[in-house]
Amino acid sequence: MIQLTVNGEAHTYEGEGDLPLLWYLRDFLGLTGSKYGCGKGLCGSCTVHLGGQAIRSCSVSMERLDGAAITTIEGLGAGGDHPLQIAWAQHNVPQCGYCQSGQIMQAAALLAGNPAPDDSAIDDAMSGVICRCGTYQRIRAAIRSAAGGGA
């Protein structure tokens, strides 16, 4: 039996240990903000936080998560009030929107470790989350804005 906390709520999982966290979140808990993209941890659309660190939920199995604290996009800010969620809306970042929860979760991990990143730090941290629509300039501007550095 695996016990973990997701968005501040305790959960128990008794299924197959090799089930990816992404499918547990989506299929068992109904948290569909994290998206399936590549299934190999390369695109970042499934990004969540494990103990505050950004991880790719498609490539982390449940058997590794006993006692873990997971935060998804649904748990980042109540009602979408996290500074990044607000900045995302202000800068009109999403185009198709598919990768955006992963983008925001990766950016939140960046700002937690570096509250005032320069463009180079932003680009480095965000390089593992692919946006097929190419909204990278708006993503960078939103991160700068959420960090207090303006657009």
Write down the domain spans for the chain: 2-75, 78-146
Distance CA 140, CA 27 (A): 32
Closest CA to 86 of 27, 34, 145, 40: 145
Fold of 2-75: Ubiquitin-like (UB roll) (3.10.20)
Amino acid at 144: R
Question: What residues contact residue 113 under an 8 Å CB cut-off, 6+ apart?
Answer: none
Q: What is the DSSP letter of 71?
A: E
Cα-only R_g, the chain = 15
Q: 98 with 32: CB under 8 angstroms?
A: no
Return the SS3 of 80. helix
Q: What is the DSSP letter of 61?
A: B
Q: Cα–Cα distance between 67 and 87 in angstroms, integer?
A: 32
Mean pLDDT value of segment 44-73? 97
pLDDT tens for 79-100 read 888 999 999 999 999 988 899 9
How many CB atoms are located within 10 Å of the residue 6 CB? 22
pLDDT in tens, 94-130: 988 899 999 999 999 999 999 999 999 999 999 999 9
Of the chain, the end-to-end C-alpha distance in Å amounts to 47
CATH number at 78-146: 1.10.150.120
Q: Report the pLDDT value the prediction gives residue 32, as an integer from 0 to 100.
A: 96
